[in-house]
Structure formats: C-alpha cells, structure tokens
Structure 1
C-alpha cells in the first residue's frame, strides 16, 4: 500500500429503521437538486420564468434515469442475461449502473417534450441547463466511490484509491490501490463548468452553443479518463479503443461541427426564449 492514498468507504448503505439509505442514490439526488437550482438561476437570467426548469425536470429526470439504465443494461447485457444471472436484477438501479449517454439522450428527450408543452424554445433552455448537468454529473460520480466501482488501473500515486479485495476485478488480486477515475471525472466536470460559465458570460453564447460546448468539454475529458479504467463495464474494443471512447470521439466531432456552424450562422444570443415570440424584455416587465 502506498504511503498516501484515498480510502474507500467501508459502507454504502445505512438503515433508517427498516429503510435502506443508499449512498449512490443520495449522490444522484443531490446532483439533481443542485442542477435544478443552478438551471433555474440561469434560465431566469436568460429571460425565462422561475419554476420552469423544475417543471421540465419532472420530464427530464425520469426519462434520464430510464435512459441511463437502458444504456447500461444493453451494453452490459451479460451481467443480467448471461449464464447464471438473474434478469430481474436489471431493475435494481440502486446497485449502480447508469450509462451517461443513455441518461443524456433520453433526458434531453424528456426536456424536449416538456419544453414543447410549455411553449419554451428548446435551444435557450438547453443552453441554460447544460452547465448545471455537469455539476450533477460531478456530484453523482461520488456514488461510484461509495460503491468501490469504475476505478482505473493500479497506481501508487499519492492520490491512489484503496479498493477492498472483494471489489477488485479479476487479474488484480494483489493490487491494493488504483486510479480514482471517479475523482478525475468529478474534478474535470467542475473545471468544465467553470470554463463554460466564463465563456457564456464573455461571448454571450446562444443558439445551442453552450450545450455544444458542454458536449465538447465533457467528451474531451471522458475520453482520456475512460482509457484508465479496467472494469468490465462496456469493455468493448473497436480498433483498440473502448466503446465509450469511440462515443466520445463521435460526439465531440459532431458538437464541434455544430458549434462552428452555429457561430457563423447565429452569432450572439437569442432574445426570445418562448415560441410565442415573447422576449426577455417582455418577461421582465410582467
């Protein structure tokens, strides 16, 4: 064991009487609450009405949870439908296992539905909430710390993460410390949040460019962090790269292309955030 290291929690479940309180779920819930708070403030600053981000979260959060679980189960089906596995455990979301790409995809679909029902223009809303999603992801990653999962290769760096024997993958029985990839991604997301907030204020980004910048920065970090991981989750190599790395490359390319196109086609920030042509000035005067 290294002289300095990060200990892993001995427990991830506490009991309030007969009711289990799971750390993973608490991290997800905390991330959602903080994201809604940040999103509300940004949406009001963009000219929207208070409470509308919370209303859209009623659509986006359930869709995102379903999408995240579906992505995980589909890409890691052998954990639930392989030989000797119990398919019912695919429903045990409290044990961990949410694919971020599925969560973002279906979560965005939920936001699209909610925005359309309320007459909200989609791109201004996405630009308002995209940075907040990064903070939610940063907080949610700490659930992996409690579950002692999704860590990286063995290392003896001072910030190495201690992993109990029962949580170590095959081939690493004698290794005690590993790269804390949950921490890397959490810190990367917070740094990306700060960069986006600065860029949005400095250049008044609009027309979906904040959302595109979110995708660009997140995938840039996720690509190199993914290459450190040794878990079996989504361990699908294509030309020597894991599935999530390829996903990051594709999404980074698409987001960059959209950012450049939107900058040329729609410089500046849109004034109207509602489909009925209501402007930010109109809302402020209500």
Structure 2
C-alpha cells in the first residue's frame, strides 16, 4: 500500500493546475506583464458590455467610453491606494523602498478601493455629459463583474493570492519561492483566482437574467452586483492565506468584514427601492438633454423594452 503513495502523488500532480513559468515577457526593452494584460482585457470587456447595455437603455453610443476616461484612472488609483494602506509594510519601514508603492504594473490593486474611486470617476463623467448617474451605473455594473473575472488571471500569472493547501485534482501548483512562510512543504493550493473567476461569471449571468426579467432601475442592478460579488468574495476570503496588515479582525480577514457590510448595505437598498416601487428610468439624461433623444445612434432601443438582446 505504501508503495502506491508516490504514484498517487504523481497522479495528483498531473491533475493539478500548473502556474506559469513566468509572468513577464520582453519585446526588446519593453516588458509585457501577464497581470497588466489581464487588467486591460477586463477593462475592454467592461466597456464593451457597458456600451451595449447603455445603448439598449436609451443612451448614445460612445458615452460609456467617455465616462470610462474618468472611471478607469480613478479606479486604478483607488485600487492602489487601498492596497498600499492595507499592506503598507510591503513598502514602508527598514529596508523597504517606498517608491515601489507606485509600481502598479507589478500587481497589487485592492478591489474595494478601485470600486470606490472608480465610482467617483463615473459620477464625474456622467455629470459632465448630463447623464443620470443611476442608469449609468446600472448599465456598467454587470460588465464590471466580467472585468474582475478576467483581472483575477493576473494573480495566476503572479502566483499570488491563492488559498489553503489542497490535494484536490484542481489544486494550483505554486513554485517554492512564492509559498508563504509555514507552507514551504506544500505544493498545491486552492486556486482562489479560478474560484472568483467562475463566481463572477455566474453572478454576471444571474444579474443579466434578473435585469431582463424585472426591468430593474434606480441603482438596483448595482445593488445586485454588490450583493453577488460580496457573497462570493466572503467565502473566497476564508480560503486565502496571503498575509495582509489587517489579516485578523475579530476572527475574520478585513476584506471578509468589508464584504459583510457591503452586502447588507446593498441588500437594504435593493429592498428599499423595491418597496418604493422604483422601476427602470424612462430617461437616462438629466432635464435639459431631452433633445439628445433624436440623435441617438441607430439601433438604440427604448429603456422599457423587455426583449432587448443587449448583454
């Protein structure tokens, strides 16, 4: 029986998920990073999905891109600030290099900071264009889930933010130099990047169905996004073993507590808006932009069209 164990371990290793041998490639002097490519792919997908949803709700083609000019840089800055605050010992203190806090391309974007400041960018962009904020965020929210799903592959390239050790067939192989202290003798770990990727896509599909079925408006799609994402993020946080400055707050990781608070807040708003009888907005523009209705791009659909084929 004991003689079979090495063969069993070898078989499990063959079934596990390999990590990339490298996450950076060079085109001459220019480094191409897998993490950056994942983030860029997510941004492109979110804008494309948001554009289709926005036009289907009665907006003009191109306005999502206009808003993204504000939302994307704000989101990147917010994500980096959140990461540096919650993991400041990586950059400040004896032997550290504070300038590296600016090296976004190496990884390290906190999703909550990205969402918070990204939302500020959306508000600014929408206000400048005479767009109502709630219809815009409702159009954008599902695509953000896809962006987060694709962005998680950046963690795979960097061999970071994985979960506890596991011998499940889909365990993720992590090279010794990336294993945290105390886990040097383990070879495979829960692929939390993959769990979050699949969870975000599932939440995306469910929210699209609910939005088409019930014609949601007034920020209720955004509320569903927050509830769907935080529900998954909570149990994924319980698996992760990466160390952060706020790693244990009353027995839970800080991000787990954040998920709980945001879920409850979003659920409360969703119920409140439902009881108020809020339905989908009949106009996505503030008063004074009514003349834009006649200049919408060809093929845009009415906001109340339940059979819209848009994403």
TM-score, structure 2 as length reference: 0.89
- Structure 1 unmatched ranges of 5 or more: none
Aligned mate of 1:201, from 173, 195, 212: 212
How many Å separate the matches in 2 of 1:119 and 1:128? 16
Write out the 4+ residue segments of structure 1 that deviate beyond 4 Å after TM superposition: 279-286
Q: 3-state SS of the aligned residue for 1:236?
A: coil
Report 1:45-60 matches (<5 A): 45-60=56-71
1:268 to 270, 279, 292: 279
Q: Give 1:235 deviation, angstroms.
A: 4.5
Q: 1:1-286 maps to which residues of 2 (within 5 A)? A: 1=9, 2-3=12-13, 4-276=15-287, 278=290
SS of residue paired to 2:208 = helix
TM-score by length of 1: 0.97
Question: Counterparts of 1:284 and 1:70 in 2: how far apart (Å)?
Answer: 38
Equivalent residues of 1:216, 1:255 under 8 A apart: yes
Q: Any idea what SS the aligned residue of 1:14 has?
A: strand
Structure 2 residues not aligned, in runs of 5+: 1-8, 299-311
Superimposed CA distance per residue, residues 39-71 of structure 1 (whole angstroms, 9 cap, x where no aligned partner): 000000000000000000000000000000000
Kindly tell me the number of residue pairs found equivalent between the two proteins: 286
RMSD (CA atoms): 1.5
Q: Report SS of the residue matched to 1:15.
A: strand
Residue 157 and residue 279 in structure 1: after superposition, are their counterparts in 2 closer, same or farther (change >3 A)? Answer: farther
**Contact 1:184–1:225 under 8 Å retained in 2:** yes
Larger radius of gyration: 2
Task: Deviation per CA, 1:7-42: give whole Å up to 9, x if none.
Answer: 000010001111100110000001000110000000
Rate the CA distance shift 1:235–1:10 in 2: closer, same or farther, 3 A: farther
Pair 280,193 (structure 1): closer, same or farther in 2 beyond 3 Å: farther
